[in-house]
Amino acid sequence: MTTTSGPTTLDLLVDALGDIVDTDGASLEQARADSSGHAADGRPIAVVHAETVTHVQTVMRIASETRTPVVVRGAGTGLAGAANAGAGEIVLSTRRMTAIREVRPDDLLAVVEPGILNAELNDALAEHGLWWAPDPASRAISTVGGNIATGAGGLLCAKYGVVRDAVLGIDLVLADGRLLHLGHRSVKGVTGLDLTSLVIGSEGTLGVVVGATLKLRRLVAGTTCTIAAVFPDVRRAAAASAAVTASGVQPAIMELMDAASLAAVAALLDLPSSTIGSAQLTIQTDGPAAAAEAAVIAEILEAHDGTVQVSSDREEGERLLAIRRSMHAAMASLGTTLIEDVSVPRSAMPAMFDEIARIEQAYGITIPTVAHAGDGNLHPNFIFEGTETPAHIWEAADELFRAALALGGTLTGEHGIGTLKSRWLADELGDDQWQLQRQIARVFDPLGILNPGKVFAADA
pLDDT digits (tens, 9 = 90+) for 430-457: 999 999 999 999 999 999 999 999 999 7
Question: Is there a domain that residue 1 lies in?
Answer: no
Counting as low any pLDDT under 50, the low residues of the chain are 460
- Of 93, 125, 140, the domain-final residue: 93
Four-residue CA torsion sign, 186, 189, 193, 196: positive
The verdict on residue 3 lying in a domain is: no
Residue 175 lies inside a defined structural domain of this protein: yes
- Evaluate whether 139 touches 154 at the Cβ level (below 8 Å): yes
Distance CA 245, CA 251 (A): 9
Give me the pLDDT at residue 278, please.
Answer: 85
Domain co-membership, 259 together with 308: yes
Q: Residue 360: how many CB atoms within 10 A of its CB?
A: 16
Instruction: Decide: helix, strand or coil at residue 330.
Output: helix
- Cα dihedral across residues 433, 435, 436, 442: positive or negative: positive
Secondary structure, 3-state, 108-130:
CEEEECCCCEHHHHHHHHHCCCE
User: Which is it for strands 208-215 and 109-112: parallel, antiparallel or unpaired?
Assistant: antiparallel
pLDDT at 127: 97
Residues 117 and 233 in one domain: no
Predicted pLDDT of residue 225: 96
Instruction: Please give the Cα distance from 152 to 248 (Å, whole number).
Output: 25
Q: What is the dihedral of CA 21, 25, 31, 37, to 10 degrees?
A: -170
Determine the structural domain holding residue 56 and report its residue range: 9-93
CATH number at residue 122: 3.30.465.10
Domain shared by 188 and 212, yes or no: yes
288 assigned to some structural domain: yes
Q: How many domains does the chain have?
A: 4
Q: How far is Cα 356 from Cα 352, in angstroms, rounded to an integer?
A: 6
Q: Is residue 137 part of a domain?
A: yes
Instruction: Tell me the chain's radius of gyration from C-alpha atoms.
Output: 22
